[in-house]
Chains A and B, each alone.
Chain A
Amino acid sequence: MQLLQLAWLWGLLGLLLPLIIHLLHKRSRKVVMVGSLQAFRGGAPVQARHFRLNEKALLLLRCLLLALFVLLLAQPVLVEKATTEKRYVFVAPELAGEVKIDSLRLAGFAPHFLQPGLAQIDENVVPDTAQYSYWDVFREIDALQAAGDTVWLFFQPTINRFHGKRPQLHKTFEVLPVQEAQDKKQLIGAVVQPEDQVLMQWWEEQEGAWPLKHVSMPRTEAYRHLASFDSAAAARAPDTLRIALQGDAGRMAELHMWQQALQLIDSLLPGHIFVVDELRTTAEQVSPNIPVRVWLAAAEPPAAFFEGGEGLRLYYRKGVGRQWFVRDARMQRLYLVQHLLAEAQHDRVLLANFLPELMRVLPLGQTKEAPPVLLSEAQWQGIPASPQTVTQRETRYTLEPWLWAFLLLTFIIERWLSLRK
């Protein structure tokens, strides 16, 4: 119980008043023997014995009356323990990689995917890239009791996924703004290299163009350099790389080779968006404008494969290990490339950038399922100033009606006893 007006408790000092009156009254009821009563004036004395029975009860009742009155003035309330409610934030799958999930959790948010099922965002959870309507998802959110009356949303408003009829919603849906990358520098990623070096790649705007830049620096410097980037880049690099694939489609082994080839290409020409321009059989001629050609067949590529302008030619040969050979001036970087590949195996950003395009052009047998999009925490985006995420909900019950009833009852009893004597 809490008292809203604590100062009124000083009124409890008034409890001394009935006590003093009681003591004074008691003291004055002494009996004095006198020679005669003929010269005195007064009244018949009260029945002392009868009075004694009520006396203490009356004193207690009067003290109780005063105490109740003081308590009423102090405004007592019963306060239920405050409960902390987590606020739910629903993040669109395509933005899941751009949101600081850990920071959201620390701030008291419970991040979930804005997709059917409302799964919690987890490192091991795969977002759904299937087509769905936001209305269905909102309907699901509306039915979620644990989410409270207000939920927050993180989604791209430009992507129209509001299909179908708008349902009746009872919760409040607050949209957190998606911060658009408006910076001149957009970080793509940082790759740890041997000898404690970090290779950083970013796009930097110069006179309307976005040339790719990269630098290798010690790890300690790299962290400081990372701080200079305010936002991560979406996969919207202006530079694209046309790649020609030559091989037999539909074979998983070729897919595996193609994955490796992609990683190699990315290591050599980082920061590009790979556009698989053509997929030719090994017999077809490739356009000379395509700078990168990849020979995915097991057989040795013909001489014409290496001809036709500058560019990167990647082919696979079985031999000592599984090694890719590159016929160009960077031959000496073969081992470095291999090392990079080994190091970059964990870099899911690269695969995340490439696999959707790859899957578009390389159907995987009969399945039409989209491969998982792996997210990377290397891409950061600051969370905009969020509202208070922790709700301290207190429920207060006023005790005044009860106290009034009790005070009235006490008053009635006190008057009855007082008149009885």
Chain B
Amino acid sequence: MKKEESPWLKPELLNLPHGLMLFAKTALHRLEGGLHRSRSSGEEQEFSQYRAYQPGDDLRLLDWKLYARSKRLYVRQAEVPRQLQVLVLVDSSASMRHSSGAWTKLNYSKALAAVLGLLAQRQNDVPGLQLLSDQQEKQLLFSRNRHHLQEFFRLLESTKAAGRWPRKMPAAMLQQARTAGLLVLITDLYEAEEELKKCLALLLGGGQDLLVVHVIAPEESEPQRLPSGVILQDLETGQKLQVRSGSDKAASAQAFAEWQENWKQWLLRRGISYLAVNTGEEPLAVMQRYLHLKSKTEQW
């Protein structure tokens, strides 16, 4: 087993009670190296400046290296970070039922959303959740309630993939999106293109940072994996298609690549970050890429 893998970060974990929370905690634990950050705000989160020691200051804040150099006592003063509202939008249409191996797209999205929620909460941010499907309009508004995170996970766990992309965005979601600092849309982008683009445009209107996490199944990006003669059936429309031969597979791979590239360019042109994740990929690796992307964009 690889060093960074963990037996806990498996899709079967999500089937257990509180599995999502456990999954998220384990992932963050792996990501952060086991360091538990203090939930207290305003102290030693980020170094800002030095100030002279005053009686009553916490001795842990003394910088002894500086004392060695200057023979004067100084304490480190952290910058008080501002709170960020992170809204996680999860596509819960029927297309997210696509199963590849042990992961379905929805489960994978839930796992990512759970980690994002826990990460936000750890960083003193407020996570919110919106499920996008015309058959279920579930959401979790921003709140500082101490049970907020449990509600977050509970809502995620109860989510099922059904229906199609909502024709009309819920007003509450739009309201929440305007106040959010970061919007993360986890979707497979298999929606009516115009509707999806309209939705993204609406979300962009508030000037928030928007990240689209594109969930891809291995068969979509690499149709060569499919056996010849396999019949594919659309989860949303029920239509069928038979991939007859290698030429069909090659054409499918090319079509997907073009479609993906078109979406990527469209998103990037509008300043929307794009992160493609493959359900065949380890979630931990995905989160590492996400954090790397985040650090590049200097969001936090």
Contacts and interface: CB of A to CB of B under 8 A. Distances in A.
A35 B228 contact: no
Interface string B158-192: 00000000000000000000000000000010100
Contacts of B232: 31-34, 37, 40, 42
A34 B98 contact: yes
B229 A25 contact: yes
Interface residues of B, number: 36
Interface string B73-95: 00000000000000000000001
B255 A35 contact: no
B231 interface: yes
Contact of B105 (A35, A38, A41): A35
B255 A36 contact: no
A284 to B, nearest CB: 127
A36 to B, nearest CB: 4
B288 interface: no
Contacts of B243: 40-42
B293 interface: no
A340 B252 CA distance: 121
Most buried by B among A28, A30, A31: A28
A38 B230 contact: no
Given A43-B241, A44-B241, A44-B242, A37 B234 contact: yes
A45 B231 contact: yes
A385 interface: no
Contact of A43 (B188, B220, B227, B242): B242
A39 B235 contact: no
Contacts of B234: 34-37
B252 A41 contact: yes
Contact of B233 (A27, A29, A32, A43): A32
Task: Classify chain A's interface size.
Answer: 20 to 34
Contacts of B268: none
Contacts of B99: 33
Contacts of B248: 40-43
Most buried by B among A29, A32, A36, A46: A36
B250 to A, nearest CB: 8
Secondary structure at chain A's binding surface: helix, strand, loop or mixed?
A: loop
A316 B243 CA distance: 127
A30 B230 contact: yes
Interface in A39-76: 39-46
B217 A34 contact: yes
Contact of B217 (A29, A31, A35, A43): A35
B49 interface: no
Contacts of A37: 232, 234, 237, 239, 241
Interface in B197-256: 217, 219-220, 223, 226-237, 239-244, 248, 251-252, 255-256
A29 B242 CA distance: 9
Contacts of A36: 95, 188, 190, 234-236
Contact of B259 (A29, A30, A39): A39
A42 B248 CA distance: 5
Contacts of A35: 95-98, 105, 188, 190, 217, 220, 234-236
Given A33-B97, A37-B239, A42 B256 contact: no
Contacts of A32: 219, 226, 230-233
B242 A34 contact: no
A30 to B, nearest CB: 6
B252 A31 contact: no
B190 A38 contact: yes
Nearest to A39: B256
Contacts of A33: 97-99, 232-233, 235
Contacts of A45: 231, 240-242
Contacts of B217: 34-35
Contacts of A29: 229-231
Interface string B9-53: 000000000000000000000000000000000000000000000
Given A28-B228, A34-B219, A34-B235, A40 B190 contact: no
Most buried by A among B99, B239, B242: B242
B300 to A, nearest CB: 32
A44 B252 CA distance: 15
A37 B219 CA distance: 12
B230 A28 contact: yes
Nearest to B255: A39
Contact of A38 (B231, B244, B259): B259
Contacts of B95: 35-36
B231 A40 contact: no
Interface in A126-177: none
Interface in A215-273: none
A42 B190 contact: no
Contacts of B96: 35
A25 B248 CA distance: 17
A33 to B, nearest CB: 5
Contacts of B219: 32, 34
Contacts of A43: 241-242, 244, 248
B242 to A, nearest CB: 4
Nearest to A45: B242
A38 to B, nearest CB: 7
A31 B99 CA distance: 12
A37 B237 CA distance: 9
Contacts of A42: 232, 241-244, 248, 252
Interface in A164-199: none
A34 B255 CA distance: 15
Contacts of B220: 34-35, 39
Given A34-B233, A41-B248, 17 more contacts: A25-B229, A28-B230, A32-B231, A32-B232, A32-B233, A33-B97, A35-B97, A35-B234, A35-B236, A39-B252, A39-B259, A40-B243, A40-B256, A41-B255, A42-B243, A44-B240, A44-B241
8 contacts: A25-B229, A30-B231, A32-B233, A33-B97, A33-B235, A35-B96, A41-B251, A42-B232
Which 8 residue pairs are nearest across A and B when measured between Cβ atoms? A35-B95, A28-B229, A41-B251, A36-B190, A39-B256, A45-B242, A35-B98, A42-B243
